[in-house]
Amino acid sequence: MTVHTAALEAAPTIDGEDFSRVAFTQEAIDLLVRLIDRNGPVMFHQSGGCCDGSSPMCYPEGDFLTGDADVKMGTFEVPLPDGSTSSVDFWMSVEQFEYWKHTHLTIDAVDGRGAGFSLEGPEGKRFLTRSRLFE
């Protein structure tokens, strides 16, 4: 069995929580750095199963409008090659969060075609959510 190790945990953003709900693998970080270099700051929204299944979708920051129907699950400080960092928020709909609230998500990057509206589409890679129950 392949283990997909979390390389970067998100800072908690849900009131009253002191634990991370989402992480990136090193492969996801490497892809993110390329996307940030080309597009500027980015954000994620975990798709709820519509057009692109349940894919984690990466957008230019602010291009996907969030509101009261969304939960910010965490914020990452992604290290960039110049020594700076880029803040990346990770969102999910409130309705989907009710189903996934007992899981920790690890976002990986694998070979394949990215989701139609997600920035990694032309990269030959796609983001993939791996989940495990909280212990």
Provide the pLDDT for residue 113. 78
Measured on CA atoms in the order 38, 44, 45, 47, is the torsion positive or negative? positive
Structure tokens at 120: 């990694």
- Please give the Cα distance from 35 to 119 (Å, whole number): 7
Question: Does the 8-133 domain belong in CATH 2.60.300?
Answer: yes
- For the chain, domain boundaries: 8-133
Per-residue model confidence (pLDDT) at position 49? 59
pLDDT at 53: 53
For the chain, 135 residues long, give each residue's pLDDT as a single digit of tens. Answer: 455 788 999 999 999 999 999 999 999 999 999 999 999 999 999 866 555 457 899 999 999 999 999 999 999 999 999 999 999 999 999 999 998 999 999 999 999 876 568 899 888 899 999 999 997
